[in-house]
Amino acid sequence: MSHRIVVVGGGVIGLSVAWRLAESHDVTLVDPAPARGASWVAGGMLAPVTESWPGEEALLELGVASLDLWPEYAAELDVRLLTGGTLVAAVDAADAAQLDVLADHLASLGREVERLTGRELRGREPAIGPGVRSGLVVPGDLAVDNRELLRSLVTAARRAGVVLDSRRVESVERGVVHVEGGTIETDTAVIAAGAWSAALHPALDTLVRPVKGEILRLRGRTGAVPLTHTLRALVESRPVYLVPRPGGELVLGATQYEAGFDTEVTVGGVLDLLADAERVMPGIAEFGLTETAAGLRAGSRDNLPLVGWLEPGVLVAAGHHRNGLLLAPITAAAVRAMVAGEDPPAQVLAADPARHCPTRR
């Protein structure tokens, strides 16, 4: 049966959800600035394995299940994937010890990972500098140009019949979405407003918070040694990553602070990112610096997203924190199943918002 559906928020999650739902329903997507938000700023890694950590097994399972959906999702949207896998580098002894913990954890879960010396890493990726002591090769992680993805999603959603409404949503309740200057009646509302979701429904009040991240975009110039893999590193325990794009662009990220809704790029953030990146890839100084940006990840209490019913007629798909691009295909598949009254992919059950409300379990 066809429903009237309002999707609130047009980042990668809202656009993916709206596009999928429009195959069977009348969908309106409400967002004053679609295809921006954290999704526009992000690095583009699709990396459940190198993001994983002991204690976060449910997130790893969810991420791996979504990664499996990515090749088909990318093909449908006609976006390119970077398939070279990820190299992870350690600079000092404590960083190397942390990578050992990660490697042991992944091996215990049966995940493929190869340990390399610094020299061996440089053999795989000549841009890596002599300051790198050891590292890992993690095959299978992917990467995508997030901006190309967003452009394709907007086109696909429009083609599928999604109506874009540029008003700001004030609140959502069963059957009604309150927008500036009016209301929209709906059978089902999907709250997908990323870090801004908490203000839209009382059940989300303390479940989603903004987590600021600063990121830089660099341009390859003559003489700059390009990267061919996604390169993540720990530099004196600070994480830093470099993601190559077709055409020679490098995305360098990312800081992580609890700073409310502040999106100003700080000098300190840029200094830290450039200094840490230079320890891993000394040739970074040859690149042009084309953009600095800050975005707000939607943090949740346990780093798992919130995907499920808040009340009859109101779904949430938010709280994707550092993994919203990775988790877009499985989130969209889950929301489509839930609206149809079907079971979502099993790995999504761990993301049910009812986990924070024991009386609803």
The continuous run of DSSP H or E covering 309 comes out as strand 306-311
Which is closer to ligand FAD, CB of 72 or CB of 120?
Answer: 72
> Helix 324-339 and helix 57-77: axis angle, to 10°?
80
d(CA 13, CA 193): 8
Give, as ranges, the residues between 202 and 221 that touch ligand FAD (CB under 6 A). Answer: 213, 215
Q: In terms of CB distance, is 134 or 230 closer to ligand FAD?
A: 230
344 belongs to the binding site for ligand FAD (CB under 6 A)? no
Question: Does residue 250 touch ligand FAD according to CB under 6 A?
Answer: no
Least distance to ligand FAD, CB of residue 115, Å: 24
| Contacting residues for 31 by C-beta, under 8 A, at least 6 apart | 8, 9, 10, 14, 164, 165, 166, 193
CA 47 – CA 320 distance, rounded (Å):
13
Query: Is residue 10 close enough to count as binding ligand FAD by CB under 6 A?
Result: yes
Q: Which of residues 309-328 bind ligand FAD (CB under 6 A)?
A: 318, 320-326
Tell which one of 7, 22, 27, 30 touches ligand FAD (CB under 6 A): 30
Give dist(CA 167, CA 336) in Å, integer: 24
Distance between CA atoms of residues 281 and 117, nearest Å: 16
- Strand, coil or helix: 85: coil
Q: Which of residues 91-120 bind ligand FAD (CB under 6 A)?
A: none
Could you give phi then psi for residue 283, rounded to 5 degrees? -70, 0
Question: Which of 65, 193, 235, 334: binder of ligand FAD (CB under 6 A)?
Answer: 193
Out of 11, 210, 269, 299, the residue judged to bind ligand FAD by CB under 6 A: 11
Contact 66, 326 (CB under 8 A): yes
Which of the residues 277 through 296 are near ligand FAD (CB under 6 A)?
295
> Which chain residues interact with ligand FAD by CB under 6 A?
8-14, 30-31, 33-34, 36-39, 41-45, 168-169, 192-196, 213, 215, 253-254, 295, 297-298, 318, 320-326
